Amino acid sequence: MTAPIRVLLVEDNPGDAELTRDTLEAGKLVLDIHVVVDGAEAIDFLLQRGQHVGAPTPDLVVLDLNLPKRDGREVLQEIRRHAALRTTPVVILTSSDAEKDIAQGYLLGANCYITKPVDLAAFQQIVRSIETFWFTIVRLP
Amino acid sequence: MVDCRAPVGSNDNQLGADGFGAIATVLAIASNPMLVIDELGEIRLANPPAERLFGGALDGVPFASVVPAERLGRRRDGTEFPIARRLEPLRVADRTLTLAAVTDLTLAAADHQLHLVIEAAPDAIVVVDAARTIRMVNRKAEDLFGYARGELTGRPLELLVPERLRTRHAELVAGYTATARPMGLARDLYGRRRDGSEMPLEIGLSPMPAAEGTLMLAAIVDITERKAIEDELRRSNAELEQFAYIASHDLQEPLRMVASFTELLAQRYQSKLDERADKYIFFAVDGAKRMQQLVADLLAYSRVGSQGRPLAPVPAGVIVREVVQVLGATIRATGATIDVGALPTVLADDGQLRQLFQNLIGNAIKFRGLAAPVVTIRAALRDDRWQFDVADNGIGIDAQYEDRIFQMFQRLHERGKYDGSGIGLTIAKRILERHGGRIWFTSELGVGTTFHFTLHPVANPS
């Protein structure tokens, strides 16, 4: 049996976290999903420090932009600063559809930028696409 | 008293037979209209100014036909005008004639009437000459500025202008006087009362030709109250728009949770509980979805004002082609025909123009009758605006709903028959308001509806 794929979900809205987790878990793949609720905690998790000493290095980060404490942009900058994390794929999943946020997201090194759809079916579809694309289609290092 | 003898000797105008000739000579050189009338009341002698005044030869004409009343003159062509007349008995030989001097009061009467009109005007009126000296004010102007008219006439106009604005005001007035064109309404002007307080004014200027050069007539309205109301309206409109935006934007997030989880509930537990639970779930999902639609529509509406782009030349034909493409699936599904005439380039926000056409063409197809929809789009220059007509052969709109049709979330049909929340025409109207145009419709039930709207043409570069 292959090791489960580790996903770090950075999402302050517990509802969205639950929807994402629920959809991912309903898929065929075996996933190990971790949820953190703010930017500071996300950075601790990724750098394996504070309460997250010994945390696993995720295979994929799903990142919201508007987060308490340190926002998604800072988390993204932090990820791209560390050699060990530089190649980790980051998917921005946010409610913002502002051009400025999209451009900045890519500039900071996001691998893709997705606006949360309003509709549940569309949301589930997108989460499943993320799963399929990153874990079955692309080859990761 | 007139005495034609020279030198004058007596008080009664007694002349010899040749005195008549002397009278004729005097009349001929007099610059005022003068006449000699005989005992029968007929005119025997009239000087050139008199003939000019009455418009024709007067010899033998009854005096009463040219001066039918004490203050009335009647020209030979029958037109009447105000006069003053003076009559003097005149003895020539043994006859007693009458010498009449007539003064044309047309101009004086006009002047008098002008005074009456100015005095009775509902606005404060100040008349100034080219040197910006106040020549005339009316009662309302006295009240408005707190001066008696004696304190204003003959004084410089600057008296009524706040000190801080005097230089600029002098330039402005000079500019208008120089061009002598009627100035519409100047905005953001201020006046100074006798007590030194200021007030915002609206001033309409019109030049008035007069004997002593062009005078400027200023009709002045104190707009303190109107300005306050306008400011308040602007503020409350902006607040309302902001409120609509924030409400709709921030409502989306929690609403998305409600909708998503009721739907998830439906996905997971539909038909796993009892029938009643299924019904509850259905109503919850349906309500949440409807509210999502309303909130999204409200957001779209508030974005017309808050996120519009500046108006620029936009070819309407290209926009309509794009919209027809977007609506392609609907057009094919309903077998609709979209007949687009030659459309002009107009001054618009292209995104909003697209939305406008999408709403109108979409409606034209949505509210179709039994026949396949035929939508005709035409434009024509009316006065200085382009008028667009989007005509359909649909079910038509009952005239009694004319007022409701553009109101937010007003639907004329029961839910389920036609989808949509009733925001489309509200947005259309809002878009046109932003573009300085208007929208209205003509319709016949069962025959079709034509929506008309106007847009500004692209200004001529010359």
Q: CA of B255 to nearest chain A CA: how many angstroms apart?
A: 9
Give the per-residue pLDDT at B141: 92
pLDDT at B283 over 80: yes
Residue B287 predicted with pLDDT over 70: yes
The rounded radius of gyration (Å) of the Cα atoms in chain B is 39
Chain B 406-445, residues with CB within 8 Å of chain A CB atoms: none
Confidence category of residue B174, pLDDT binned at 50, 70, 90: low
- pLDDT greater at residue B218 or residue B13: B218
pLDDT tens sequence across A14-23: 888 988 888 8
User: In sequence order, what are the residues at sequence separation of 6 or more whose Cβ sits closer than 8 angstroms to the Cβ of residue B91?
Assistant: B12, B13, B14, B15, B97
Specify the pLDDT at position B462.
35
Residue B384, Ramachandran bin (φ over 0: left; ψ between -120 and 50: alpha; else beta): alpha
Taking CB atoms and an 8 Å limit, are B259 and A120 in contact across chains?
yes
Touching check for B259 and chain A: CB below 8 Å? yes
Residue B180: which pLDDT band, with cuts at 50, 70 and 90? very low
| Residue A2 is assigned to a structural domain of this protein | no
CB contact under 8 A, B264 and A121: no
| Per-residue model confidence as pLDDT tens digits over B370-379 | 899 999 999 9
CA B152 to each of CA A140, B143, B155, B211: distance values in angstroms, whole numbers, following the listed order: 90, 12, 5, 21
Q: CB distance B260–A120 less than 8 Å?
A: yes
Q: Which of A13, A116, A120 has the CB atom closest to B263's CB atom?
A: A120
Asked if B347 reaches chain A (Cβ–Cβ under 8 Å), the answer is no
Percent of chain B with pLDDT over 70: 91
Give the pLDDT mean for B252-274: 87
Task: Please give, rounded to a whole number of angstroms, the shortest distance from the CA of A35 to a CA of chain B.
Answer: 18
Distance from CA of B253 to the nearest CA of A (A): 8
- How many residues are listed for chain B in this entry? 462
Task: Read off the amino acid at residue A21.
Answer: R
Please check whether residue A108 lies inside any domain of the structure. yes
Residues forming beta bridges with residue B345, ordered by sequence position? B315
DSSP state, residue B308:
P
B177: confidence class by pLDDT, cuts 50, 70, 90: low
Q: Does B256 touch chain A (CB under 8 A)?
A: yes
Q: What is the CATH number of the domain that holds A28?
A: 3.40.50.2300
Q: What is the DSSP letter of B62?
A: B
| Pair of tokens at residue B174 | 């000079």
Least confident interval from A60-69, B85-94, B162-171 = B162-171
pLDDT confidence band for B393 (50 / 70 / 90): very high
DSSP codes joined into one string, chain A: -PPPEEEEEE-S-HHHHHHHHHHHHHSSS-EEEEEE-SHHHHHHHHTT-GGGTTPPPPSEEEE-SS-SSS-HHHHHHHHHHSTTTTTS-EEEEES---HHHHHHHHHTT-SEEEEPPSSHHHHHHHHHHHHHIIIIISPP-
Contact between B423 and B301 (Cβ < 8 Å): yes
pLDDT tens column, B217-230: 888 988 888 888 88
The reported pLDDT for the residue numbered B440 is 92
Average pLDDT over residues B328-338: 92
- The C-alpha angle B259, B260, B264, rounded to 5 degrees, equals 120
> Would strands B134-137 and B337-340 be described as parallel, antiparallel, or unpaired?
unpaired
Q: Which two tokens stand for residue B54?
A: 């009455």
Residue A141 lies in a domain: no
Chain centroid offset of residue A8 CA: 5
Question: What's residue B17's pLDDT?
Answer: 55
B252: chain A residues, CB-CB within 8 Å: 95, 118
Q: Among B253, B256, B297, pick the best mutation site for testing chain A contact (most A Cβ within 10 A).
A: B256
Q: Is B264 on the interface with A (CB under 8 A)?
A: yes
Say yes or no for a CB contact (<8 Å) between A118 and B264. Answer: no
Provide the Cα torsion B374, B380, B384, B388; round to 10°: 10
Residue-number span of the structural domain to which A113 is assigned? 7-135
Backbone angles phi, psi at B454, to 5 degrees: -120, 145
DSSP B418: B
pTM exceeds cut of 0.95: no
Q: Is the ipTM, as predicted for this complex, more than 0.90?
A: no
Q: Is residue A60 part of a domain?
A: yes
pLDDT in the model for residue B100: 92
Residue A3 φ then ψ, to 5°? -65, 145
Question: ∠ CA(B90), CA(B94), CA(B97), 5° rounding?
Answer: 30
Question: To probe the interface with B, which of A20, A21, A96, A120 has the most B CB atoms within 10 Å?
Answer: A120
CB contact under 8 Å between A120 and B253, yes or no, is: no
On whether residue A140 sits in a domain, the answer given is no
Q: What angle do CA B64, B67, B73 make, to 5 degrees?
A: 155
Tens digits of residue pLDDT in A113-139:
988 887 888 888 888 888 888 877 877
Q: Do A120 and B296 touch (CB under 8 A)?
A: no
- The set of long-range contacts for B402-407, using a CB threshold of 8 Å and a minimum separation of 24, is B402/B441, B405/B441, B406/B439
Query: What are the backbone dihedrals phi and psi of residue A138, each rounded to the nearest 5 degrees, phi first?
Result: -80, 155
**Mean predicted confidence (pLDDT) in B447-462:** 82
DSSP letter at B404?
Answer: G
Please state, rounded to an integer, the average pLDDT across all residues of chain B.
Answer: 84
> In this model, does residue B10 exceed pLDDT 50?
no
pLDDT (0 to 100) of residue B181: 46
> Could you give the angle at which helices B224-269 and A14-26 cross, rounded to 10 degrees?
30
Q: How many domains does chain A have?
A: 1
State whether B256 and A22 contact (CB < 8 Å).
no
**Residue B330, class by beta-carbon neighbours within 10 Å (0-12 exposed, 13-18 middle, 19+ buried)?**
middle
**Which of A99-113, B327-341, B360-374, B410-424 has the weakest average pLDDT?**
B410-424
Structure tokens at B49: 């100014």
Mean pLDDT computed over B380-402: 89
